[in-house]
């Protein structure tokens, strides 16, 4: 049978054991513990073997000092030209002052998350759609700078903010595809119209050049004919018989070609061919 003394000894030993257990703390690497004494901040326990006063001191917060990854949910943002885009971001933060982190804000992770989302909407709202989709690095830099100062007041350091994805909504994407298709069609029509214009210009220039060449050829032919007639007239002089012979030969050859035409049925020659040729020769001489 256990006597009262034994029971008292057991109780005292149990109390001592519990007291020692409550006063000894082993803090793992990568964490810092916040100790409160009678409800007020007392000390920050660094990694290693540490001691506190049991029943007066209590570990209120266990803060990790490793990098914290905050993955923000995909959110909508409206650009300056009223286009809706979807942005997915991720932030890497680190607690540099555990006291500010636990006493400066209720939940520093949620606070940073909301601040990044709000700042992101503000930045995108100042951009056009095309600029927002193509300026990922600029958005990231402005986003980090926008939340860094406030994070310092909470004992946090924003190491990096990354834009995982930025894209238009499904409806906006369909509208962009229709716009791009219309733009391609417009460019094709402009190209075709420009081609038709150049073709018409080249055709007109070709006709003009052809007309100029035809006119020049006719002038040269007329000059050649005039010179030929002048030389023939000078060669024959007053003797008109050779001239009449040549003209008659040309005249008969022309009549022969007319007779050979499928449309010609009857060819009439003048009765006095010699007088006709003589009259033609006299006209040539006068001209």
- Alpha-carbon distance of 94 to 102, in angstroms, equals 13
What does the buried/exposed string (b/e) look like for 88-112 if buried means 16 or more CB atoms within 10 Å of the residue's CB? ebebebebebbbbbbeebeebbebb
Domains defined for the chain, CATH in brackets:
4-64 (no CATH), 68-168 (3.30.479.30), 237-287 (no CATH)
Considering only residues 243 and 206, tell me which one the structure prediction assigns the higher pLDDT: 206
pLDDT value for 271: 47
| Range with top average pLDDT, 2-11, 113-122, 200-209 | 113-122
**pLDDT category of residue 21 using cuts at 50, 70 and 90:** confident
pLDDT, tens digit, 9 for 90 and up, residues 239-277 = 555 555 566 666 666 666 666 666 655 555 554 555 655
Average per-residue pLDDT for the chain: 80
Q: Residue 176 above 70 pLDDT?
A: no
| Range with top average pLDDT, 187-201, 218-232, 233-247 | 187-201
Q: Which of 164, 169, 174, 87 is nearest to 123 (CA)?
A: 87
- Alpha-carbon distance of 164 to 180, in angstroms, equals 25
pTM over 0.75: no
pLDDT value for 211: 82
pLDDT value for 261: 62
**pLDDT category of residue 186 using cuts at 50, 70 and 90:** confident
Share of the chain above pLDDT 90, in %: 9
**pLDDT category of residue 165 using cuts at 50, 70 and 90:** confident
Q: Residue 32 above 80 pLDDT?
A: yes
Q: Which of 40, 43, 143 is nearest to 90 (CA)?
A: 143
Strands 84-95 and 68-71: antiparallel
- Alpha-carbon distance of 66 to 94, in angstroms, equals 6
Q: Average pLDDT for residues 155-184, to the nearest whole number?
A: 79
Token couple for 61: 């917060």
């Amino acid at each position: 049978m256990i006597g009262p003394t034994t029971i008292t000894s057991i109780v005292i030993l149990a109390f001592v054991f519990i007291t020692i257990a409550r006063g000894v703390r082993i803090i793992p690497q990568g964490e810092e513990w916040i100790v409160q004494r009678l409800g007020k901040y007392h000390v920050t326990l660094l990694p290693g073997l540490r001691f506190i006063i049991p029943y007066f001191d209590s570990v209120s917060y266990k803060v990790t000092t490793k990098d914290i990854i905050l993955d923000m949910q995909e959110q909508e943002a409206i650009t300056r030209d009223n286009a809706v885009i979807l942005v997915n971001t991720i932030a890497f933060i680190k607690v540099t002052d555990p006291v500010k982190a636990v006493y400066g804000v209720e939940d520093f992770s949620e606070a940073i998350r909301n601040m990044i989302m709000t700042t992101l909407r503000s930045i995108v709202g100042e951009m056009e759609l095309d600029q927002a989709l193509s300026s990922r690095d600029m958005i990231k830099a402005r986003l980090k700078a926008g939340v860094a100062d406030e994070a310092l007041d909470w004992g946090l350091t924003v190491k990096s903010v990354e834009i995982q994805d930025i894209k238009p909504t499904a409806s906006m994407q369909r509208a962009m595809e229709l716009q791009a298709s219309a733009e391609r069609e417009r460019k094709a029509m402009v190209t075709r119209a420009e081609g038709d214009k150049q073709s018409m210009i080249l055709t007109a220039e070709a006709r003009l050049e052809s007309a100029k060449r035809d006119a020049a050829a006719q002038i040269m032919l007329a000059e050649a004919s005039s010179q030929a007639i002048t030389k023939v007239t000078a060669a024959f002089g007053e003797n008109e018989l050779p001239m009449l012979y040549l003209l008659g030969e040309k005249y008969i050859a022309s009549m022969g070609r007319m007779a050979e035409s499928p449309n010609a049925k009857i060819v009439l020659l003048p009765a006095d061919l010699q007088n006709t040729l003589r009259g033609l020769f006299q006209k040539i001489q006068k001209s």
